[in-house]
Amino acid sequence: MNSEHGERLQLEQDYATLWEAARSGDLGARVAMARRYLESGRTARGFKWLREAAAAGSVEALLALGRELRSGARTANDFPGALKTFRTAAETGDAAGCCELAEMLFLGLGLGPGA
């Protein structure tokens, strides 16, 4: 078996293991699946996995989702959505969530008119 073939088989096995872990509720695996989908251009699936992990309480997913919504790199900017997501992360006591929320508030992003 050549090296390239062996690497491909290992990647397929790793993916299958990750997929099963994500489907069984492992939040870290769900975030990892989301990142794989987003990086490969399958944004709808990536956002689906991120939203599910965030809804299940993954702070890592909340931060990743908030950053995606704020950046607009893979979807339209959604500053109110990013602000809400960072607020949820901050409410868990997560330092990064607090920093992201503070930055959004400082810049006035997602606050709406007259805020």
User: What CATH number does residue 87 fall under?
Assistant: 1.25.40.10
Range of the domain at 93: 3-107
pLDDT tens per residue across span 81-101: 999 999 999 999 999 999 999
Could you tell me the CA-to-CA distances from 13 to 20, 33, 46, 72, 75 in Å, in that order? 11, 14, 20, 33, 30
**Cβ pair 58, 27 in contact under 8 A:** yes
Number of domains in the chain: 1
Q: Would you place residue 14 in the very low, low, confident or very high pLDDT band (cuts 50, 70, 90)?
A: confident
Residue 114 lies in a domain: no
Could you tell me the CA-to-CA distances from 79 to 58, 71, 76, 89 in Å, in that order? 20, 9, 9, 15
Would you state the pLDDT for residue 6? 63
Would you state the pLDDT for residue 2? 61
pLDDT tens per residue across span 42-83: 999 999 999 999 999 999 999 999 999 999 898 889 999 999
